[in-house]
Amino acid sequence: MTIPGLLPELEVIRKDFPILERTVAGGQPLVYLDSANTSQKPQCVIDSMVDHLERHNANISRAMHALGAEATEAFEGARDRVAAFVKAPSRDEVVFTKNASEALNLVANTLAWAKGPLAVGEGDEIVITEMEHHSNIVPWQLLAERTGATLRWFGLTDDGRLDLSGVDDLITERTKVVSLTWVSNMLGTINPVADIAARAREVGALVVVDASQAAPQLPVDVVASGADFVAFTGHKVVGPTGIGVLWGRREVLEALPPFLGGGEMIATVSMERSTWAGIPHKFEAGTPPIVEAVGLGAAVDYLDAVGMEAIHAHEQAITGYALEGLLSVPGLTVLGPQDAASRGGAVAFELAGVHPHDVAQVLDTRGIAVRAGHHCAKPAHARFGVQSSTRMSSYLYTTPAEIDALVEGLHYTRSYFKVG
C-alpha cells in the first residue's frame, strides 16, 4: 500500500530491528504497537553495547589505563552525539540521568534547594497541564508542598488540546516555573511549546519541557523551543533503558545546587566541606550508566541517519491511516485530536462494552501488542470521564499492514465479546 509520507525504505528499516522478526501467540507475526511505552532497538544499538562490554569495559574518569580511557571517550562521545541530536549549544549542557523521571525530579528538587532568584517559595506559582504524565505532575506537587508554592494548571478542551484561552491569567508575575509535555503520551497532542515559553519569558518564569514523546518523533531544537530545561528518555528513542537526558541552559545549570552527592560530582572534599565539579558532572554523582550511554549515542546516530524530518512525516502518515481505521470500528471512540497533523503516534481509545484490559488481552492472542490502563496519565483520563483506555502507538518501523491487523483485531474483539 502506498501512503504519502511513509518512509520509502520502511522494509529495509524493519530489518534493522531483529525483534520484529519474532513470532508470538502460537506462531503469529509480532505486531508491535506499543512504542510510546518503549521502542524496539536496532541491531547497531545492540552491537554497540555488546562491543563495549566485550572490549572496552571499565569505569570512566578514574582508571589510568587504556580501557579506562576508552570507556571515558565512549561515554563522553555519547554526550557529544546527544548534544548534536537536540542542537544544544554546548555539550556541557547535557546531563545524563537514569530516565526522564529522574531528570524532571532533578529540576524540581534543585529548585527547592536553590538560593536567590531561582528559589521557589511561598507565594510563587508553578504551572503544569492536565495532560501530563505523572512524572511531570508528582515532582511539582512535592515542590509545592515543600516550599509553600501554589500549583496551577492548564485545562483541556473537549478535543484533547490545551485550553489556552486564559494563558495570560494563568502565567503571571507570580509564576516561577511552567512545566509541560511537548507531546502527550495519552492524547497524542502536540503542544505549542515555543508559544507558551514565550509567555513564560515575559514574566521571568523558567520553562521545563518533557520531551519523552517528542524526541522520538519530532526534530528537537532545544534553543528554538524556548525552554530552559528539556528532558527525555533513552528507551523511547530506540536506545536502552536506564539512561535519560536533561538539557539545561548553562547559566541555570551553573546556578543550581547539586542533586545527588558522591563521587565525580565534586571538585574537592574535606571533612568540613566540599566544592562541586563544573557542569554537567556536578549533577552526575557516582558511576554513571556507561554502556547505556554508548547505546544511546548509537541510537541517536541511527535516528539522525534516517532523518528526524522523515520520521516525523512517517509518524503523521501512519497515524492518519490508523485514525481512519480505528474510527471505522463501531463503538470505538478516540481520545484526543482526530487529525494526524495535530498529534503524535500514540492513540488512546475506548471500545464500548469492552474493558481496555480485555481489548489488550484479546489482541495479544493475535500477536498484537498494545497498552491498556491509565498510561501514567490519570488526571487526563479523569478529564474525559474514563478510568482507563487502550493505546496503540506507532513508530518509524510501523507498517500499514500492522494497522490493518489492529483494526481487524478490534472487529474480532467486538465479535468475541458480542457487543453491538
Active site residues: 376
C-alpha closest to that of 398 among 283, 314, 334:
314
CB atoms inside a 10 Å sphere around CB 114: 16
- Burial-class residue 255 by CB neighbours within 10 Å (0-12, 13-18, 19+): middle
Beta partners for residue 28, in sequence order: 24
Residue 365 CA to residue 369 CA, distance in Å, equals 9
Backbone dihedral angles phi then psi of residue 371, each to the nearest 5 degrees: -115, 150
Residue 343 CA to residue 212 CA, distance in Å, equals 14
C-alpha closest to that of 383 among 121, 186, 93, 210:
186
Residue 179 CA to residue 216 CA, distance in Å, equals 19
Which strand (E) or helix (H) includes residue 177? strand 175-181
* Location of C-alpha cell 478510568: 387
Residue type, 66: A
Residue 131 CA to residue 161 CA, distance in Å, equals 9
Residue 3 CA to residue 262 CA, distance in Å, equals 53
Residue 222 CA to residue 228 CA, distance in Å, equals 8
Residue 329 CA to residue 327 CA, distance in Å, equals 5
DSSP code of residue 156: B
Helix (H, G, I), strand (E, B) or coil at 95: strand
- If you count them, how many residues does the chain have? 420
Which strand (E) or helix (H) includes residue 347? strand 346-351
Beta partners for residue 389, in sequence order: 373
CB atoms inside a 10 Å sphere around CB 272: 5
